[in-house]
A and B are shown apart, each in its own frame.
Chain A
Amino acid sequence: MNTPSPLLSAQGVHVTFPGRHGAPDVRAVDGVDLDVRPGEIVALVGESGCGKTTLARALVGLVEPTAGRIAFDGRPLEYSGRSLKAYRRRVQLVLQDPTGSLNPRHTVYDAVAEGLRIHGHAGDERAAVAGALARAGLRPAERFFLRRPHELSGGQRQRVVIAGALVLEPELLVADEPVASLDASVRGEILALLLRLRAELGLSALVVTHDLGLAWNIADRVAVMYLGRIVETGEVERVLTAPRHPYTRALLSVLPEAPGDPVILAGEPPDPSRIPSGCRFHARCQILAGGEAERAGVAEACRGRDPGILDGSGTAQVACHWASHSGAD
C-alpha cells in the first residue's frame, strides 16, 4: 500500500483529567499516534474505559489534548472558536445512541439542516438536506422531512444522524460506536452505508468500537487500545487473523466463533489513574503469567520497561516486549 499523506494525524496525544480530592490524575489517553489517510476506514477498538472515546473527542476538537498535537490535512488543529468551527465542517462526529443525539421536538428536516444553518450555507438548503438524506439511505427524502425521531425506527434514526453529518460534505467521519445500540439486521445495513459513502464520496472514517467483528466488516486498518495506549495496529487481515499482542489475542479468543481455548483474562482493566509501570498490560498478561515471557528472557522488561508509543503510520506494529522479541508473527 502506498502511503499518501494522512488526512488526520495525531502525534503523542495525551489527555489527562485532574484527579478529584487529591487523587492522582486520570491518564485517559496516554500517548497515542494515529493517522487516518484519505479514503481510509480505521477502526479504533478497545474495552470501556480504555480511552477510545476520549481520543475520538480529542480528534474532533471537543477536548484539547494535554500534550501532543493533532493535525488535519497537514495543519495543526487550533482551538479558537472560529478555527474549530471551520474544522468541524470537514470532520463530523456520529455518536452511538441516535435517540440521544436527536432532539425529539425537531423534525428530521431541522435535524439535518441544523449544520447548514450553523455554517451559514449559501446554496439551496432543501436540496442539500434531501441529498444528504438520500445518501444516508432514506428515500424518498421528502417523505422523511416532517417526521420526528419517535416516528422512526432505530436504524432510520441513525441514518438521520449520519445524514446530519453528511450534509456539510465532510472529508472525515468520526463515528463512536455507530451501531452498538442497533439490532443485528440493522447493524449490517448501517455498516454497508459507511462502506458505500467511502466508495461514492471518498469519505474517510475513524470508527470507534468495542466490536472486532465490525472492524472485520468494514475497516482497512485497526488500532487496538488498552488503558490509554494503542498496543497493536496494522491492516485488519493481519491483526485479526494473526494477532501478536497478548491482549489482542485474548480479545479475539473469547469471541463466540474463535478457534481454540478462550483466554479469559481475570479481573478488569486497571484504573487509568493508576497505570501499572513497565508494560501497562503486564499484570493481566497471560504470556507473562504462563512463563512464556520468562522463557523468552523478557519478563524483566515486561515488569519494568514501557514498550513505548507505536507510530501512527499504519504499518503493522505491536507494543509488547515478548512479541517483538520472539517475532511472533
Chain B
Amino acid sequence: MTLLDVRGLTVTYADGAAAVRGVDLSLEAGGTLGIAGESGCGKSTLALALLRLLPPGTRVGGAVLLDGEDVLSMKWGRVRAVRWAGASIVFQGAMHSLNPVRRVGDQIAEPILLHRRAGPAGARRRTGELLEQVGLPAARAAAYPHELSGGQRQRVMIAMALACDPRLIVADEPTTALDVMIQAQILRLIGQLVADQDVGLVMISHDLAVLADTCDRLAVMYAGRVVEEGPAGQVYAAARHPYAQALSAAFPRIGDPASRFAPRGLPGDPPDPAALPPGCVFRPRCPVALDICAVQDPPLRDTGDDRSAACVRITTRVTTPTAATDSDTARDTDRETDRETAADTTTDTPGDEAPAPAPAPGPAEEARRDTP
C-alpha cells in the first residue's frame, strides 16, 4: 500500500491566502520524495498540513492518506498517536525547535515516554541508542542545545524524529543553515537511516540540487501547486516546465562553461497568494508564455513517461522514458528565440502548437519532438 497519498490538498490561511491549491503526491514505503520551491510557494505549509500542525482558523481540504488512513479526518486523539509514531517531522532551524533550557536527552525521550514506548530507564537507553545512530556520543544526552553546534543540533532533531520508529519522516529544510561539509554529513546520515530502516522521506528544500541528489522523486512547487513532478535526476537535469527550468538553471554547475560569468535567475516575484493572476499563475514571469496562458490554468498532466508537468506547452505523451535526459546542456540557451516564437504562435491551441525552430531546443520542446 502507498505510504503517503496526498489528494487534492488545499490550505487557505485565515487571512484568505491560498497557500496550497490542490496538490496530489504519493510516496511508497522506503521511497524518498523531494519538494522544491522558493519562499512562499507553499512547501512548508504542505509539510505542516501533513501532520495537521497548522494554526487554528486555517481551512484544509482534500485528503492526506497515511497508510490508507486520512489524517485530515482523524479524531485528535488519533492524530496525537500518529504524530511521532506514524510520521514525524524534522523542522527547519534546529536552533529554534529545541527547548533551550532542557537537556537534549530529555527532549528526545519525551515522545518515547508520551507514547508509552518505554519507562524512564528504557527511554534513557533508547535515547543513547538514537544519539549513537545519528553519530553523536550517548553522553551528549546531558548537553543543552547551546552546547552543541548547528550540525549536532540537527542530528538531535533527527534522533528525535526517529524516536518512535515512524513510517514517514517529513524533513523541512533540514540542512539549510548548515555549512556544505556539515550538510553533506547530515544528508548522508538521512540517506543511510532511510535505507536501513525503510522509512519514507519527504524532504522539503529550496535547494533543487540537494534534493536531486538525495531523493528518488522530485516535485517542484510554484504558488501553491506542483508544476512538475518526476524522477529527481530527470527533473533537475532536464526540467520541462518553464519555472522548473528557470529554477534549475539558477543553480550553477561548477565546471560548466555555460554558467561561468553567467549567473541565471528569473525576473519578477511570485504572485501574492491572496491575489493570484487569472490563467496560469506563472504567466507574468514566464519567458515563453502564450496568449492562451492568460485564460487557461493548466492542471498537472501526466506525460506518459513517469513524469508530469502543468504547462499548456507540454501536452503530448512521450514514448521514450529517457527522452529528455541527454539535453541537460541545452537548457534555455534560446530564451530569446522562444520568446519570439511564442509571439508568433499566439493563435496556437494546446496540443497542436508547432515546435520552436530553435537551434538548441530546450527541454520544454523535448516532449513535442518525441511525439510518435
Binding site for B on A (CB under 8 A): 47-48, 153-155, 183-192, 195, 210, 212-214, 216-218, 236-237, 240-241, 250-252, 254-258, 262, 264-266, 268
Inter-chain contacts of A257 with B (CB < 8 A) = 209, 213, 253-254
Q: Are A155 and B269 in contact (CB under 8 A)?
A: yes
Q: Report whether B209 and A185 are in contact in the complex, using a CB–CB cutoff of 8 Å.
A: no
Specify which of A186, A192, A216 is in contact with B254 (CB 8 Å cutoff).
A216
Instruction: Select from chain A the residue with minimum beta-carbon distance to B260.
Output: A216
Contacts of A216 in B (CB 8 A): 252, 254-255, 259-260
Contacts between the two chains (Cβ within 8 Å), count:
110
Chain A residue contacts of B181, Cβ below 8 A: 47, 250-251, 254, 264-265, 268
Chain B residues 143 to 158 lying within 8 A of chain A, measured CB to CB, are 149-151
Asked if B279 is at the interface of the complex by the 8 Å CB criterion, the answer is no
The reply to whether the CB of B212 lies closer than 8 angstroms to some CB of chain A is yes
Asked if A217 and B184 make an inter-chain contact with CB atoms under 8 angstroms apart, the answer reads: no
Interchain CB contact under 8 A, A183 and B39 = yes
State whether A192 and B252 are in contact (beta carbons under 8 Å apart), knowing that A48-B179, A184-B206 are contacts in the complex. no
C-alpha spacing A237/B247, complex, angstroms = 24
Decide: B265 and A192 in contact? CB cutoff 8 A: yes
Residues of A within 8 A of B253 (CB): 213, 257
Can you list 19 residue pairs at the A/B interface with Cβ under 8 Å?
A: A47-B181, A185-B266, A188-B249, A188-B250, A191-B265, A192-B265, A210-B179, A214-B263, A217-B262, A217-B263, A250-B181, A255-B254, A256-B210, A257-B213, A257-B254, A258-B254, A262-B188, A264-B185, A265-B181
Are A184's CB and B247's CB within 8 A? yes
Interface size class of B (residues with CB under 8 A): 35 or more
A195 touching B261, Cβ below 8 Å = yes
Encoded as 1 (CB less than 8 Å from any A CB) or 0, chain B from 170 to 206 comes to: 0000000001111111001000000000000000001
Q: Closest CB of chain A to B217's CB: distance in Å? A: 16
CB distance from A139 to the nearest CB of B (A): 12
A217 CB contacts on chain B under 8 angstroms? 252, 259-263
B267 within 8 Å of A by Cβ? yes
Find chain A residues with CB under 8 A from B267 CB. Answer: 189
CB of B115 closer than 8 Å to a CB of A: no
B241 to chain A minimum Cβ distance, whole angstroms, is 14
Partner of B263, one of A47, A188, A262, A266: A188
Task: Knowing A189-B265, A254-B183, A264-B184, say if A184 contacts B255 (CB, 8 Å).
Answer: no
Residues from chain B with Cβ under 8 Å of A268 in the complex: 149, 151, 181-182
Asked if A184 and B260 sit within 8 Å, CB to CB, the answer is: no
Q: In the complex, what residues of A have CB within 8 A of residue B266's CB?
A: 185, 188-189
Which residues of chain B come closer than 8 Å to A47, judged between CB atoms?
A: 179-182
- Given the complex of chains A and B, what is the CA–CA distance between A268 and B250 in angstroms? 29
In the complex, given contacts A155-B269, A191-B265, A250-B181, what are 19 additional A-B residue pairs having Cβ atoms less than 8 angstroms apart?
A153-B269, A184-B38, A184-B207, A189-B263, A192-B265, A210-B179, A212-B254, A217-B259, A217-B261, A241-B255, A252-B254, A256-B207, A256-B213, A258-B254, A262-B188, A264-B184, A264-B185, A265-B181, A268-B182
